[in-house]
Amino acid sequence: MGEHEDAAAADTRRLGVKKQTLDDAYAAPANFLEIDIANPMTHGVAKKRYTDYEVRMKTNLPVFKKKESSVRRRYSDFEWLRTELERESKIVVPVLPGKALKRQLPFRGDDGIFEDEFIEERRLGLEAFLNRIAGHPLAQNERCLHMFLQDQEIDRSYTPGKIRNT
């Protein structure tokens, strides 16, 4: 029985794990993709009024041609991205925060979809949506995601496809 216990103890011992140093702990992560959405701005008047958001990205993933970018996007751009990913990729695309149709009705006693509280709620929802998509390894190769994150203007007549690492 002693021999069996020794074998079991050997099986459960940790592998020779290297102790982490402070340099390791504070070094840049091996691979990272950070995306945040900030600085909402409302433009226009009456029916031409809309809010857009700054989409900021930092990464060291080789699949992205730019390591840092900042673009402005409105809700309809997020809808476009979701539609493109559903059509072109093999991933399950998460839902966007709702369109808030009731907030767009006339004769409201508030600013509807232009209320600061609503804009912040939507910003958080769009950020969660974008991080879930961008964190998916298959989505990271989609041309539409690269265009959305890095190009100032979205070319809606682009040719869908995958980004190839060069």
pLDDT tens figures, 4-34: 556 555 555 555 566 777 776 676 667 889 9
Q: What is the mean pLDDT of residues 74-97?
A: 91
Look at residue 117 in the predicted model and tell me its pLDDT: 85
- The region that residue 41 occupies, defined by phi over 0 for left and psi between -120 and 50 for alpha, beta otherwise, is beta
Beta-strand runs (E) in the chain: 33-43, 50-59, 68-74
Contact assessment for residue 125 and residue 133, using Cβ atoms and an 8 Å cutoff: no
How do residues 113-164 score in pLDDT, each as one tens digit? 678 888 899 999 999 999 999 999 889 999 999 999 999 999 888 888 787 6
Residue 75 banded pLDDT, cuts 50, 70, 90? very high
- Put simply, whether the predicted model's pTM sits higher than 0.95 gets the answer no
CA–CA distance, 3 with 124 (Å, rounded to integer): 58
Query: Which amino acid is residue 155, in one-letter code?
Result: D
- The region that residue 44 occupies, defined by phi over 0 for left and psi between -120 and 50 for alpha, beta otherwise, is left
Work out the end-to-end distance of the chain between its first and last CA atoms, rounded to an integer number of angstroms: 58
